[in-house]
Structure 1
């Protein structure tokens, strides 16, 4: 056995990065294991219960997962891990939720498991009586809450209770000069086969097209939930271009407009806004007999929407995302309430097919001047990240990189408004933040796409669902404490294939020997997980970052 993996009994898996089979091993391992650490030579993965259940729900058996580990292992697999993996995978679907003529039923082929969970206080309150040794009646309101609690107990149920068709509404794809890519069709097919779940695709791989394909398959009224108004309008434009839908059939429900139409696109913000403690727009969820609900960027789903989604289990639910990672740790709620992962196409695999642009990723480490180091050293813990992230020394590096990539479309992305304004002023380029009206944002994004404004300094408003196909350089000057989900979105700004065919460059500027550098390890872990090389450069050596 000479493979790149060392599989250990504590469910950790070590990957030798320099091994010739490392790339393929990473690709196969990522189906069921989560990357925890990614330093230069050895990457550490962990096999988690949720990862195994997601893989099982996506159609992968315990034998397939063990075959992957055996194929690439350097040493024999620990027997304890083999047994544990099989037992964990076998827990998925031991309990099944179905529907009979009278309502919901939970049953199991293992009466002992059913008896065990029925004695849990929270679950007992959701049951409406024992039907037989292997089945219980479930309260009609409890379908989502029951699945949440069962995941917490380690017995994830398979939901076969079916879905309401909703009000029929004819939607077809307008495949004039284009067609669904193979992986997009697979994603639609896998989702529709099950009726609920999450599709994981990299930014730029056409998640909106998968949503349109699901809508065409369902032929029903659809509610689409998105991150912001700009995203809502890009969804509208894409649906008008790709489907038979007309402007009269698509409504926007946001802070600026309150239209309810057969296809309604609403923002998470409006859905979770409250007045006097009450959610004032929840009536939207029952405004029409929705047959499909699409959650764009499901990894950003606000916590209140989970509670609302628990009551929507009879509707088909499609989650779209570039990463299942949630910084709040609520991946299990996505699993139980939106649905498990149904399809996952790795970034590098789609890149190899030419559907997203290749990218090189660089971390540029910057030495702080003595005065800044002393300010950092004397600051409190709550101030140190901001001091490191907004260090004035980063400005000279930004200027170097903008000069180096002259003629390309460049996004400079930051977290802090004063830093964004300062850099925009120094470069004499526009700044775009969440304070800008939606019309101004759309105007600046349009100018960027046309080349009239080739450089934009943007806040995190550009992280989500913004279509900038000709961006080939991103310079990240500060972020949300090394958030992996943010890294996915920011890298995704560069991955949409551009007309120039230029390979994308993604730079992160990091202040050396500070928490800025510590947080960068999270970003590095995400990029390594997706199979991207991650070079660490010194700010003094920027003559040719690709060398």
Structure 2
């Protein structure tokens, strides 16, 4: 028997004893293939899933490494059946390959004939395939390359796509490295993507995902279509590319609600691409407007469903997805794997923090009690009203004021979901507010003033979750969120993780109403923090005083 921190169970769950001296090393070892499910104080529960194992396989990890990680860190004997199952599951990836044959075009090839015979009999797969070429090979309709990968994943036989990509229209792009260079992990991410041809790079907010995108564009040396979450993000991408690469103003176009420019590098919003009139996607022509050599998806965990359908038709183009977390609240991680590509690089947040590239973070949950009248209103309300009632409790207001006062002089964000709550807080705190209704021009002015220190406190709705460059935010106070969204937690924590010039710790507070669904959803969101290795503390609002340090 080992004295390891991990208990490996036959139902594919892994129990990690958080307080064990070897817990951090074990967490790093299992992170490439296991997903965190529950994160109470002392024992965290991870689960090993086929998709997690296939992502690990595509990122270069083999079954021997996975098995070794479990054997090394497990306290007790690892169930033999589980080890066999892991090896068998990982061996499924690549048993089928999509290949480009000079004479026969796109084909599906297998090293194991019974697998091919099995999938040929699936009703949803049959129509996607053409004529049988030989015992191990069948033709594939090129237009069905994406749909075929989706269906094969669903039946448990993920195909490795080796069919290659069109180069697209050449367009020279070089990195302007006179004053900067890619960090080692950014270069590894670019190399991992380029070697694989398509796929997803997972990096913390603040770790320079845009620079990885720029590096991939330089590697491709081709026209590039960049898809982003909103217009502010589009303009920040443009500014960053102008600063970091050889691209000029004339070479970068914005394709949004406000402008329709098509240039060698075109930055489009998801919203404009998914706009429909009379049931027709009116801007689909953008996908064929140029012979794109690279399609880049920012915040790939937020892709709207129509973008998946469009991406299914773009399988001959190189595709790079950038994200802070592969978790999707709609459960469509399999579609990201099939259509954008598997995970090619993943850097644990704490590892990048240890290298000094993102700030250390202190994560604290402050629990408030509802006043008696609000408790009764909550208890008697309909279930679909309870989260809003708990989230927007007036009991949170003085706590937020105390936290803002404690960090006076530090750039601080108050972040929430409900506009009436945020309007009230903005008024109490005498702070400017940014919501979806705020014009792009006003947003950009406030962000700039925040960066320059002229404004040190901003109240922001969920528009600040995505791609907003607030490099000097040191404190985030979260008052309400999108139910139990882990991806939102990743974005919000990322708002304060950019390294501080003075080396100070970032502070991430969540104010939660105890004994309500607000607390339940907070526990779900905090799985993300635990997954990345962050400990979070729970304190009672009554124990807060304006000048006393938190325990």
Assess same fold via TM > 0.5: yes
Corresponding position: 1:8 with 2:3: no
Give the SS at the match of 2:206: coil
Q: Deviations over 1:113-133 (max 9, x none)?
A: 000001111111011110001
C-alpha deviations, 1:205-257, integer Å up to 9, x for none? 00000000000000000000000000000000000000000000000000000
Matching residue within 529, 539, 542 for 1:527: 529
Alpha-carbon deviation of 1:42? 0.6
| Cα shift at 1:545 | 5.3
Q: SS at the partner of 1:27?
A: helix
In the alignment, what sits opposite 2:46?
Answer: 45
Q: Report the Cα offset of residue 176 of structure 1.
A: 1.1
Equivalence for 2:445:
443
Instruction: State the match for 1:55 in structure 2.
Output: 56
Where does residue 263 of structure 1 map in the other structure? 265
Residues 1:105 and 2:92 are matched in the alignment: no
TM superposition shift of 1:501: 2.6
Alignment RMSD (CA, Å): 0.7
Deviations 1:405-462 (A, max 9, x none): 0110000001011111100001111010010110110001111111111000000111
Report if the CA contact (8 A) 1:97-1:105 is conserved: yes
Alignment partners' CA distance in 2, 1:194 and 1:536? 42
**Counterparts of 1:546 and 1:254, CA distance in 2:** 45
State the alpha-carbon separation in 2 of the partners of residues 190 and 484 from structure 1: 26
Structure 1 regions of 5+ residues with no counterpart?
Answer: none
Rounded to whole Å, the distance in 1 between the matches of 2:523 and 2:295 is 35
Q: What is the DSSP-based 3-state SS (H/G/I as helix, E as strand, rest coil) of the residue aligned with 2:188?
A: helix
Paired with 1:341 and 1:365, the residues of 2 have a C-alpha distance of 37
Q: Verify the 8 A CA contact 2:361 2:506 in the aligned structure 1.
A: yes
1:310 matches 2:312: yes
- Counting only pairs closer than 5 Å after superposition, residues 184-199 of structure 1 correspond to structure 2 as 184-199=186-201
Q: Distance in 1 between matches of 2:549 and 2:352?
A: 25
User: Quick one: which of 360, 363, 388 aligns to 1:361?
Assistant: 363
Cα displacement (A) at 1:154:
0.3
- d(CA) in 1 for partners of 2:195, 2:360: 32
* Residue number in structure 1 paired with 2:18: 17
SS of corresponding position for 2:455: coil
Supply the distance in 2 between the matched residues of 1:494 and 1:515 (Cα, whole angstroms): 26
Q: Assess if the C-alpha contact under 8 Å between 2:489 and 2:526 holds in 1.
A: no
- 2:473 aligned to which of 448, 464, 471: 471
Equivalent of 2:234, from 232, 235, 240? Answer: 232
**Number of paired residues?**
547
Which consecutive residues of structure 2, in runs of 5 or more, have no partner in the other structure?
none
Q: Which residue of 2 aligns with 1:431?
A: 433
On the 8 A contact 2:418/2:480 being kept in 1, the answer is: yes
Output the CA distance in 2 between the equivalents of 1:275 and 1:420: 34
Q: State the partner residue of 2:136.
A: 134
> Which residue of 2 is the match for residue 328 of structure 1?
330
SS class of match (1:480): coil
* 1:141-156 paired onto structure 2 within 5 Å: 141-156=143-158
Distance 1:147 1:402 in 2: 50
Between 492-501 and 209-218, report the one with greater CA deviation: 492-501
Q: Retained in 2: the 8 A contact 1:537–1:545?
A: no
TM-score (norm 2): 0.99
Q: Pick one of 500, 503, 511 that aligns with 1:501.
A: 503
What TM-score, normalized by structure 1, do the two folds share?
0.99
Match of 1:92 in 2: 93
> Do the aligned residues in 1 keep the contact of 2:311 with 2:340 (CA within 8 Å)?
yes
Match of 1:388 among 387, 390, 415: 390
What do residues 346-378 of structure 1 show as CA deviations (whole Å, max 9, x unaligned)? Answer: 000000000001101001100000011011011
Cα deviation, 1:453-491, whole Å, max 9, x if unaligned, reads 100000011111111111000000000002000000000
Following superposition of structure 1 onto structure 2, how do residues 146-295 of structure 1 map, counting pairs within 5 Å?
Answer: 146-295=148-297
Q: Are the equivalent residues in 2 in contact too, given 1:228–1:267 (CA < 8 A)?
A: yes
Secondary structure, counterpart of 2:124 in structure 1:
helix
> Matched residue of 2:205: which SS?
coil
Give yes or no for contact 1:93–1:157 (8 Å, CA) kept in 2: yes
Q: Deviations over 1:240-278 (max 9, x none)?
A: 000000000000000000000000000000000111111
Name the SS of the counterpart of 1:54 in structure 2: helix
* Cα distance in 1, alignment partners of residues 131 and 523 from structure 2: 51
Shift of 1:502: 2.0
Q: Is the 8 A contact 1:240 1:246 kept in 2?
A: yes
- Does the CA-based 8 Å contact 1:470-1:500 persist in structure 2? no
Q: Which residue of 1 aligns with 2:406?
A: 404
Q: In the TM superposition, what is the alpha-carbon distance from 1:28 to its structure 2 partner?
A: 1.1
Q: 1-side partners of 2:487 and 2:221: how far apart?
A: 32
Q: CA deviation at 1:27?
A: 1.1
Structure 1 residue 196 displacement after superposition? 0.1
Partner of 1:120: 122
CA contact (8 A) 1:168 1:221 kept: yes
The secondary structure found in structure 2 opposite 1:260 is coil
